[in-house]
Amino acid sequence: MNTGSDEPGEVAVAADKAKADGASDERGLGSKAPEFIKARRMLHLSWQVGIFIIGLAVVILGIIMLPLPGPGWVVIFGGMAIWATEFVWAQLVLRWTKRKVTEAAQRALDPKVRRRNIILTSIGLVIVGVIVGIYLWKFGLAMPWKIKDQ
């Protein structure tokens, strides 16, 4: 993101400072339903039930995608975003999640953390290479089961 500044981490600091001062951002917490829906209690309740059901379906679909191929976490957060259009608790969870993801991205860009991750990945690859080498030395390219005997 380009905020017009070259200082690293300024975006996160500015967002935290705004929250600490008690100033709310341009979109406050609460329902994002159109005004004519909010004006009628039963219509607004029906609207919220519909949003909850749609969000629940999307979150369940994301949970199903976690062990299966697919963008499970992205779909789950999409369902949370649907819920966040109506429910304050979902808005707060989504803000917390965005803050944590931003902090993790900032930490990942830290040169010390990147160096540590490269070293750990290299060590892991060496260990896997040694295990594969020992397997090939002991068994060769033959698989441990015999397909011909079936």
Question: Which of 81, 57, 61 is closest to 72 using CA atoms?
Answer: 61
Residue 21 makes CB contacts below 8 A (sequence gap 6+) with none
Q: In this predicted structure, what is the pLDDT of residue 88?
A: 87
**Please, what is the average pLDDT of the chain?**
78
Name the helix (H) or strand (E) containing 127: helix 111-139
| Residue at 149: amino acid letter | D
Is 22 a residue whose pLDDT tops 70?
A: no
Question: Which of 120, 44, 122 is closest to 85 using CA atoms?
Answer: 44
Mean pLDDT, range 44-49, rounded to an integer = 85
Token pair listed for 86:
């109506």
CA–CA dist 90, 83 (Å, integer): 6
Q: What is the pLDDT of residues 102-150, one digit of tens each?
A: 998 888 888 888 899 899 999 999 999 999 999 888 877 766 666 665 5
